[in-house]
Chains A and B, each alone.
Chain A
């Protein structure tokens, strides 16, 4: 006879409400884990997208994701001729805000050279950029659709295709355009400013610089030798893909990551305290029944089983409800919520341990109950 299940069934409504409350807490915990993963995943997405082996950036900088990097656009030609380089492409990154259909879109503009590394990986709708100017491929999260036209800077761009999962570490969805358009967007002055500049005799301001050159090496090429050679050029620095990812995580998203990690720790602590209190309260309410069970001969394992099983059922239900809820609402979050089976499994293991530890308090109280307590009226 399973006394734990019988007791749960007896007070089912209350138990379900308790599980639901715990489930909401677990939803928040899972959301924080998902946001944490999303942050890392988003940050790495833009670095991983070009499938580069080496990033050539401005000397003395950590690359375009950690700080401003500006190198001459023709660096690509020099790099492409180096031994071991299979492909090279100049690339540019910038954030921009643009009005579209009554709202303001914050976009992460990636300028790349058509036919070279740095462009969108997989087009999920429409097509890739087919002309030299005024076309763009947007991430689906921008809300843009193929055929839409949007004004960026002084020009109008037509959306020709969509991609998914392309965004910067701040969660801004990316748009891909031709490098020349991206450079114009970066350097062109507004008409009024342009007139002032001309009146001052300065002419138009144009800078032919890009943020980085992406390199893919030939099979079997020595990447470390290539980066060492590139570093000998005084105005350039070279980072391997792994170094670029490490820099991004260590310098760009590190604070946010630690903050979320700390918050997650606090949430798990709160969850542990809440579970302990619930189980302790459930046990204290049953002290007379536990005394009766002891009096009629129930061994300690029956009493411990009653409490621990209820604690585990409570934890498992809370975890299950939390998982279902987060799966239902994760797409509503403004930032991507990424839940891996591993994370969900680890949380289950943590809850299991927390429930066992939390039930210790209740078990201790139950085992101390004098069976003679049952004899009082």
Chain B
């Protein structure tokens, strides 16, 4: 597959918690480049720094040092270069969670449309886009159903629709297939790959799920905060 623009560029990214004797280095000088269309996996044992790296790329954790650029815009260089990180996340990043994290008081359609509502889309246009995505992900027939009544697979597809609603070019997924059986996990990954290609987006996934390793373009191993193999 032909790769496109650099969407995520990380240089010398580091994170430590505490100081002195209590200092813990969660991530040590990590460099990473992810291009449009790429689907990569962050692998490693617990405490290796996978989630820390994902959170810093997602602008929800302050790095201790290094540089981060998203979709060509430098966003961190020793300090955050933008004040509106939530708007940045809304416009550029889509999140997919292990536990789906759908809002229980909204229907499947509303869970997708809420992102567009926050982005300032007109309500009708937002709902139409939500329906379009749900139909595409083959859960359109469950649009008016609350998350509690969705199966695990349906909920995950709604969560993917939400992550893609505002057409972000960077999709961060935290164990997206952990709650799914083998065949469903592979279907979800195939779907993500297809969407990444169609939307010219990149997908960075934290996973332990060996069943889906073959669905990634790159497997990036982390150990003790170091990037050991890419």
Is B115 at the interface (CB under 8 A from chain A)? Answer: yes
Across the interface, which residues of B come within 8 angstroms of A293, CB to CB? 103, 114
Q: Are B103 and A375 in contact (CB under 8 A)?
A: no
In this complex, the interface size class of chain B, counting residues with CB under 8 Å from chain A, is 20 to 34
Most buried by A among B101, B117, B118: B101
A10-B95 CB under 8 A given contacts A296-B90, A297-B90, A302-B118: no
List the one stretch of A1-9, A33-41, A158-166, A332-340 in contact with chain B.
A1-9
Across the interface, which residues of B come within 8 angstroms of A345, CB to CB? none
- A1-40 vs B, CB cutoff 8 Å, 1 = contact: the mask equals 1010011011100000000000000000000000000000
Across the interface, which residues of A come within 8 angstroms of B90, CB to CB? 296-297
| Contact with B119, one of A297, A374, A377 (Cβ below 8 angstroms) | A297
A246–B147 alpha-carbon span in the complex (Å): 65
A10 to chain B, nearest CB (A): 3
- B19-61 vs A, CB cutoff 8 Å, 1 = contact: the mask equals 0000000000000000000000000000000010011001011
A375-B51 CB under 8 A given contacts A7-B105, A289-B103, A299-B86: yes
Is B169 at the interface (CB under 8 A from chain A)? Answer: no
A296-B162 CB under 8 A given contacts A1-B117, A289-B103, A372-B55: yes
Across the interface, which residues of B come within 8 angstroms of A11, CB to CB? 105
A286 to chain B, nearest CB (A): 9
- Within A343-377, which residues are at the interface with B (CB < 8 Å)? 370-372, 374-375, 377
Q: Which residue on A lies nearest to B101, using beta carbons?
A: A292
B122 to chain A, nearest CB (A): 11
Across the interface, which residues of A come within 8 angstroms of B103, CB to CB? 3, 289, 292-293
A374–B55 alpha-carbon span in the complex (Å): 11
Q: Are A10 and B86 in contact (CB under 8 A)?
A: no
Q: Are A370 and B60 in contact (CB under 8 A)?
A: yes
B28 to chain A, nearest CB (A): 20
A/B pair count, beta carbons within 8 Å: 73
Q: Are B115 and A296 in contact (CB under 8 A)?
A: yes
Most buried by A among B86, B98, B106, B146: B86
Q: Are B105 and A372 in contact (CB under 8 A)?
A: no
A377-B98 CB under 8 A given contacts A1-B110, A372-B60: yes
Q: Which residue on A lies nearest to B102, using beta carbons?
A: A292
Q: Are A374 and B117 in contact (CB under 8 A)?
A: no
Across the interface, which residues of A come within 8 angstroms of B115, CB to CB? 296-297
A interface: dominant SS: helix
Across the interface, which residues of A come within 8 angstroms of B106, CB to CB? 3, 6
Is B174 at the interface (CB under 8 A from chain A)? Answer: yes
Q: Are A295 and B113 in contact (CB under 8 A)?
A: no
Q: Are B101 and A10 in contact (CB under 8 A)?
A: no
Q: Are B99 and A296 in contact (CB under 8 A)?
A: no
- B54-93 vs A, CB cutoff 8 Å, 1 = contact: the mask equals 1100101100000000000000000000000011011100
Across the interface, which residues of B come within 8 angstroms of A98, CB to CB? none
Is B4 at the interface (CB under 8 A from chain A)? Answer: no
- A277-310 vs B, CB cutoff 8 Å, 1 = contact: the mask equals 0000000000011001111111100100000000
Across the interface, which residues of B come within 8 angstroms of A297, CB to CB? 86-87, 89-91, 115, 118-119
Q: Are B114 and A10 in contact (CB under 8 A)?
A: no
A1–B117 alpha-carbon span in the complex (Å): 7
A326–B110 alpha-carbon span in the complex (Å): 40
Is B123 at the interface (CB under 8 A from chain A)? Answer: yes
A302–B146 alpha-carbon span in the complex (Å): 21
Q: Which residue on B lies nearest to A9, using beta carbons?
A: B105
B5 to chain A, nearest CB (A): 22
A288–B119 alpha-carbon span in the complex (Å): 21
Across the interface, which residues of A come within 8 angstroms of B175, CB to CB? 377
Across the interface, which residues of B come within 8 angstroms of A6, CB to CB? 105-106, 110
Is B12 at the interface (CB under 8 A from chain A)? Answer: no
Q: Are B104 and A289 in contact (CB under 8 A)?
A: yes
Q: Are A374 and B101 in contact (CB under 8 A)?
A: yes
Across the interface, which residues of A come within 8 angstroms of B61, CB to CB? 372
A306 to chain B, nearest CB (A): 10
Q: Which residue on B lies nearest to A10, using beta carbons?
A: B105
- B175-210 vs A, CB cutoff 8 Å, 1 = contact: the mask equals 100100000000000000000000000000000000
A296-B95 CB under 8 A given contacts A1-B117, A370-B60, A372-B55: yes
A289 to chain B, nearest CB (A): 5
| Contact with A1, one of B97, B123, B162 (Cβ below 8 angstroms) | B123
Across the interface, which residues of B come within 8 angstroms of A289, CB to CB? 101, 103-105
Across the interface, which residues of B come within 8 angstroms of A7, CB to CB? 105
> What 3 pairs between A and B have smallest CB-CB spacing?
A297-B90, A10-B105, A7-B105
A297-B86, A375-B97 given. 20 additional CB < 8 A pairs? Answer: A1-B114, A3-B103, A6-B105, A6-B106, A6-B110, A7-B105, A289-B105, A292-B103, A295-B58, A295-B60, A296-B89, A296-B90, A296-B115, A297-B118, A302-B118, A370-B60, A372-B60, A374-B95, A374-B101, A377-B98
B residues near A (Cβ < 8 Å) are 51, 54-55, 58, 60-61, 86-87, 89-91, 95, 97-99, 101, 103-106, 110, 113-115, 117-119, 123, 146, 162, 174-175, 178
A residues near B (Cβ < 8 Å) are 1, 3, 6-7, 9-11, 288-289, 292-299, 302, 370-372, 374-375, 377
